[in-house]
Structure 1
Amino acid sequence: MTKLSMVSDAIIRHIESGALREGDRLPSEGELAANHGVSVGTVQKALMQLVHSGLITREQGRGTFVSGTRVAPADVRYLRFRDAEGNELPSYVHARAVKRLKRKGPWSDFLDGEGYVRIDRVISVGGRFDLYSEFWLREEDFAELGGVDRTALERNLRELVAQRLSLPTQRVDQWIRFDTLPSSAARELKLESDQPGFIMELRGYTLRNRPLYYQSICSGPFAERLVIIRENGQ
């Protein structure tokens, strides 16, 4: 494990254990460097990596604070990553944007309708690499959710739809391919626009086999072990 990974993993373990909670302030860069026996430069790189993943925020003159929200297990139950020792890596979500679009694509082919809402999120896997997720709903379905704040968007979207619209996910079709990443995903993941990567598409159905949501998940290359779960036919 590199010194950079050692610092990142230590901070993530503290968040996982509850020793650091949302809103808590991290030790100074100098304290972290001394505690881990690394340079301040290494600490700065580790913190910037965690900032990009949405786990922490840095405020000028105030310090570094925990901001990441743990993804509800059901929200990523179909994708689980493990390290070389077989330990499951925690996942954290960071909402990027909510956009109303008329643009056509695989989401419109599946959902049908005139307008759509896309929820963009980045999921940090153990602070090691990121997944970029686009979650599409019909515009009218999103409107029925009522006011949706950032906290809600950083939790389980399937459960949010099920609770507020009484539309449970009954079935999910899943496809995986290795292909050139969409420009939006490459941009969020800070990868070259023509770089190939991991792409997973999910199509969720609710009661009476009605199309409910379309989701795509992308990432660049990763060395961690991926376990893909299919539960109850999903």
Structure 2
Amino acid sequence: MTKLNRVSDAIIRSIESGALRDGDRLPSEGELAARHGVSVGTVQKALTRLMHAGLITREQGRGTFVSATRVTPADVRYLRFRDEAGNELPSYVHARSVKRIKRKGPWSEFLAGDNYVRIERVINVGGRFDLYSEFWLREEVFAQLGGLDREALQKNLRELIGQRLSMPTLRVDQCIRFGVPPALAARELGLAPDAPASIMELRGYALRDEPLYYQSVYAPAFAERLMIAREKLA
């Protein structure tokens, strides 16, 4: 494990264990560097990474604080990773927007119908890199959910649909390819307009193989070797 990952993981574990709570002030950069036996530069990179993940905020002249917005790992079972030591990396979901769209695309070919709702989210993996997700439902299915607040949008959407609508996901087809992501995904991931990304497409089916949801997940290139933790459907 690199020094950068060691510092990031240590702070994340402190947040998850409750040793650091919402609004708590972190030790200074110098104190963190001495505690972990690394340079101040490494600490600064780790804090920048965690700030980008939404786990901390940095205030000029005041210090670094645990974010009061969301520090609980999300239940994202279809996108779970472990590092080379076998430690599972928590995922932190940040809802971006919910939009009603009539535009056609791979989602319409799968879901059929005329009107759709696209839920846009950014999923941070262990404070190390971001994924960008577009989750598509038919508009009538989304309406049956009765409205979703920000907290609900940051949970496992598949399970939410199963619980609220009694429409469990019984099968998921997963495909992966390499290509240029849409402009919004590239912007969220900090990619150049024509830079390629890994694209995972998921198609969820309910009873009698009825199409339930369509999802695209975009991932930037990263050097670290990670293991995929496989999910078991209920």
With the shorter chain as reference, the TM-score category is 0.7 to 0.9
Residue in structure 2 matched with residue 64 of structure 1 by the alignment: 65
Structure 1 residue 225: Cα displacement: 2.2
Kindly indicate whether the alpha-carbon contact (under 8 Å) linking 1:69 and 1:94 is maintained by their aligned counterparts in 2: no
> What is the root-mean-square deviation of aligned Cα atoms in Å?
2.5
Structure 1 residue 156: Cα displacement: 0.9
Q: How does 1:216-227 map to 2 (within 5 A)?
A: 216-222=216-222, 223-227=224-228
Kindly provide the amino acid, as one letter, of the partner of residue 106 in structure 2.
P
The alignment status of 1:177 with 2:197, answered yes or no, reads no
Pick closer, same or farther for the CA change 1:105–1:70 going to 2, 3 Å: same
Kindly indicate whether the alpha-carbon contact (under 8 Å) linking 2:83 and 2:227 is maintained by their aligned counterparts in 1: no
Q: Which 10-residue stretch deviates more, 130-139 or 223-232?
A: 223-232
The alignment status of 1:191 with 2:191, answered yes or no, reads yes
Pick closer, same or farther for the CA change 1:170–1:53 going to 2, 3 Å: same
Structure 1 residue 45: Cα displacement: 3.2
**Structure 2 residue runs without a partner (length 5+):** none
Kindly provide the amino acid, as one letter, of the partner of residue 66 in structure 2.
F
Q: Distance in 2 between matches of 1:22 and 1:154?
A: 18
Kindly indicate whether the alpha-carbon contact (under 8 Å) linking 1:4 and 1:45 is maintained by their aligned counterparts in 2: yes
Q: Distance in 2 between matches of 1:25 and 1:107?
A: 44
Q: Distance in 2 between matches of 1:5 and 1:142?
A: 39
Pick closer, same or farther for the CA change 1:63–1:80 going to 2, 3 Å: closer
Q: SS at the partner of 2:89?
A: coil
Q: Distance in 2 between matches of 1:25 and 1:153?
A: 28
Pick closer, same or farther for the CA change 1:19–1:80 going to 2, 3 Å: same
Q: Provide the identity percentage.
A: 68
Residue by residue over 1:103-152, the C-alpha shift from the partner in whole angstroms, topping out at 9 and shown as x without a partner, is 21111111122221111111111111111111111122212212311111
Pick closer, same or farther for the CA change 1:165–1:21 going to 2, 3 Å: farther
Kindly indicate whether the alpha-carbon contact (under 8 Å) linking 1:179 and 1:197 is maintained by their aligned counterparts in 2: yes
Q: What is the TM-score when the length of structure 1 is the normalising length?
A: 0.85
Structure 1 residue 49: Cα displacement: 1.6
Q: What is the TM-score when the length of structure 2 is the normalising length?
A: 0.85
Q: SS at the partner of 1:148?
A: coil
Q: SS at the partner of 1:70?
A: coil
Q: How does 1:8-157 map to 2 (within 5 A)?
A: 8-38=8-38, 40-58=40-58, 63-66=64-67, 67-72=70-75, 75-76=76-77, 78-157=78-157
Residue by residue over 1:175-234, the C-alpha shift from the partner in whole angstroms, topping out at 9 and shown as x without a partner, is 1112223322221110122222221111111123221111111111232223263645x9
Kindly indicate whether the alpha-carbon contact (under 8 Å) linking 1:69 and 1:154 is maintained by their aligned counterparts in 2: no
Pick closer, same or farther for the CA change 1:40–1:201 going to 2, 3 Å: same
